[in-house]
Amino acid sequence: MTKWTAQDIVDQQGRTFVVTGANSGLGAVTARALAGAGADVVLACRDVAKGEEVARPLGSRARVRKLDLADLDSVREFAAGIDSVDVLVNNAGVMAVPNRRTADGFEMQFGTNHLGHFALTGLLLDRITDRVVTMSSLMHRLGTIDLADPNYEHRSYRRWPAYGQSKLANLLFAYELDRRLAAAGSAVKSLAAHPGYASTGLQGHTDSVWDRVMGIGNLMAQSAEMGALPELYAATAADAVGGTFIGPDGPFEQRGYPKVVASNAKSRDRAVAAALWGESETLTGVTYEFES
């Protein structure tokens, strides 16, 4: 693909998108771009007030719904209020936070970034008509899926490996979902994307010295508008292929325009993906039902 930008988004009138974490950063940029292309956008936000600030200038095309991915009751309540959706963008996330637990007792990063989106996607799947886009990260390369202790109940917590595990889980999920959809003969597809190194609010919520370090690093980062391009391409481009990973085309995938990129061997391990899927269904209580 050649230098695809938000101006290349085709007319999205008549289509509905759900974007998680749309109250700030990449999610807010994505919601604005989709509404600007004519789409109806549901901003799925933990912070509803901030979501309303984003939605207000977008007019009737945007509406805000409460969604806390760190609380499965909230996920179920949100999903129950969605009638139909063409595209689900699993964008929200937390990064390198201290050792905390979700409302259901999961490690916060694995529980929010992976399990919350796994449950949300499964609960909405019978109403999704086109595709699911799940945001991962270059940091998936730091991750290893510990199926014996994914929630750090028995091992020492380390924030960056935990983040890497959650982002690797996002990729394993996106690829496995696409395989299962294809096997069921479904027309729905699943893709993954990553923003490179983009300046967003995500880097400022680690509650550690890393906030200051990454604040300095943000001076060299690309804008959130550029960082959102891979997920926008994955969510809207007619020629986007299921089971692919979209990221920036620049050096080391740090910045640039969308293209299909590679992910590491761990993310392509089908045995681990299947085992993670089973464990995710057990932990969330959400069992997927596939229809063609």
**Residue appearing with tokens 């391409």:** 233
Per-residue pLDDT reduced to its tens digit, 147-187 = 999 999 999 999 999 999 999 999 999 999 999 999 999 99
Q: What is the DSSP letter of 46?
A: S
* pLDDT above 70 for 1: no
- Let me know if 152 is a catalytic residue: no
Percent of the chain with pLDDT over 90: 91
Per-residue pLDDT reduced to its tens digit, 81-126 = 999 999 999 999 999 999 999 999 999 999 999 999 999 999 999 9
Find the catalytic residue in 152, 163, 197, 233: 163
Per-residue pLDDT reduced to its tens digit, 176-196 = 999 999 999 999 999 999 999
User: Quick one: pLDDT band at residue 218, thresholds 50, 70, 90?
Assistant: low
Output the pLDDT for position 292.
64
Specify whether the CB–CB gap between 10 and 41 falls below 8 A. Answer: no
Specify whether the CB–CB gap between 255 and 222 falls below 8 A. Answer: yes
Output the pLDDT for position 208.
55
Q: How many CA atoms lie within 13 A of 152 on its CB side?
A: 22
The answer for residues whose C-beta is within 8 angstroms of residue 31's C-beta and 6 or more apart is 17, 19, 22, 41, 43, 54, 55, 58, 62
Average pLDDT over residues 281-291: 95
* pLDDT above 90 for 211: no
User: Quick one: pLDDT band at residue 206, thresholds 50, 70, 90?
Assistant: low
**Domain annotation for the chain: domains and CATH numbers:** 8-282 (3.40.50.720)
Output the pLDDT for position 203.
45
* pLDDT above 60 for 217: no
Per-residue pLDDT reduced to its tens digit, 24-74 = 999 999 999 999 999 999 999 999 999 999 999 999 999 999 999 999 999
Output the pLDDT for position 288.
98
User: Quick one: pLDDT band at residue 210, thresholds 50, 70, 90?
Assistant: very low
Output the pLDDT for position 273.
98
CA separation for the pair 11, 259 (Å, rounded): 21
